[in-house]
Structure 1
Amino acid sequence: MTPGDGPVLAAGCVLWRVSPCGDGVEICLVHRPKYDDWSHPKGKLKRGEEFRAAALREVLEETGRDCALGPALPTVRYEVDGRPKEVRYWAARDTGGSFAPNSEVDRLVWLSPAAARGRLTQIRDRELVTAFLDTLNRTPERTPDPAPER
């Protein structure tokens, strides 16, 4: 890294919906064939783009889903190829759309929080599930109780 280089900036979401079965919530995960990993939808900011706008754009590009941003989740920091990366996350409720595989994301799944935690490749992404569930439990309006841990 040369002096003056800042971190790679990115944004993403823990995308969720009420389970169609009616038992709690489900979290959307994406599979990226380039890395053969499962993660939350996220991506780098474009020049001049705000974090919130980038989060919405990345969810739409990777999942085909529209969403409504909710509470901010913890910012995640790590290194990629020797360069610091900072990813800001939000809880985001799914508002509709349709997934189509693309060069970046070839699969999408909706899972219970416990199953999502088990499928996620990175520990840092698993910790976001816990943070997301904490925000659901603190939200004043009535949201469905998350599915019990199994």
Structure 2
Amino acid sequence: MTAPTTPILAAGCVLWRPSVSGHGIEIALVHRPKWDDWSHPKGKRKRGETAEACALREVLEETGRRCELGPRLPTVHYTVDGRPKEVAYWWARALDGGFVPTREIDALVWLPPSSAHHRLTQPRDRALLDTALSIPHS
């Protein structure tokens, strides 16, 4: 059995795409019905999986989109049921694919950064978005 002090390792992305309007970018947010929250796509690492591979897999599973990892973002630390959790994040550009709702993720929205900031449930996710937005994107 794992000691309670062993952190849960996870990875994800602040996923973006060029705006459909042609002006600026849009940020992908996923809705998790279990928690009734809006967040960046992320999930737990599998045994032996690198953080990068986990981030790519989780984005694909939760959004239906492949993505290209960009700059590494700060690792986010918090506690879940008394156990520490560490989530490695990347700023990532969305590529091809399409969203299909699941029991875990029932909705995906693409929003301008200011709207995404307001929609995010957790302050830590808003801070992560602010950090990501300070990175030049092309």
TM-score calculated relative to the size of structure 1:
0.88
RMSD of aligned Cα (Å): 1.5
In structure 2, how many angstroms separate the alpha carbons of the residues matched to 1:109 and 1:123?
19
Secondary structure, in 3 states, of the residue corresponding to 2:135? helix
Does structure 1 residue 131 correspond to structure 2 residue 138? no
SS in 2 for 1:135: coil
Q: Are 2:10 and 1:6 equivalent residues in the alignment?
A: no
Q: Secondary structure at the match of 1:47?
A: coil
- 1:28-107 alignment, distance < 5 Å: 28-107=28-107
* C-alpha spacing 1:35/1:4, structure 2 compared with 1 (3 Å): closer
Deviation at 1:103, TM superposition (A): 1.0
> After superposition, what is the alpha-carbon deviation per residue over 1:25-54, rounded to whole angstroms, capped at 9, x for unaligned?
000000000000000000000001000000
Superposed CA deviations along residues 90-114 of structure 1, whole A, max 9, x for unmatched, are 0010111000000110000000110
The alpha carbon displacement at 1:3 in A equals 4.6
2: CA distance, partners of 1:17 / 1:115: 15
User: What residue ranges of structure 2 are gaps of 5+ in the alignment?
Assistant: none
Q: Kindly indicate whether the alpha-carbon contact (under 8 Å) linking 2:5 and 2:84 is maintained by their aligned counterparts in 1.
A: no
The alignment-based identity, stated in percent, is 64
Contact preservation (8 Å) 2:28, 2:111: yes
Gaps of 5+ in 1: 144-150
Contact kept, 8 Å, 2:4 with 2:83, in 1: the verdict is: no
Number of residues of Structure 1 aligned to a counterpart in Structure 2: 138
Match of 1:18 in 2: 18
TM (normalized to structure 2)? 0.96
Look up the match of 2:119: 119
Segments ≥4 residues shifted beyond 4 Å: 1-5
**2: CA distance, partners of 1:90 / 1:62:** 15
Flag the structure with larger Rg: 1
Q: How far 1:2 sits from its partner (Å)? A: 6.7
Counterpart code for 2:113 = P
| Structure-2 residue corresponding to 1:147 | none
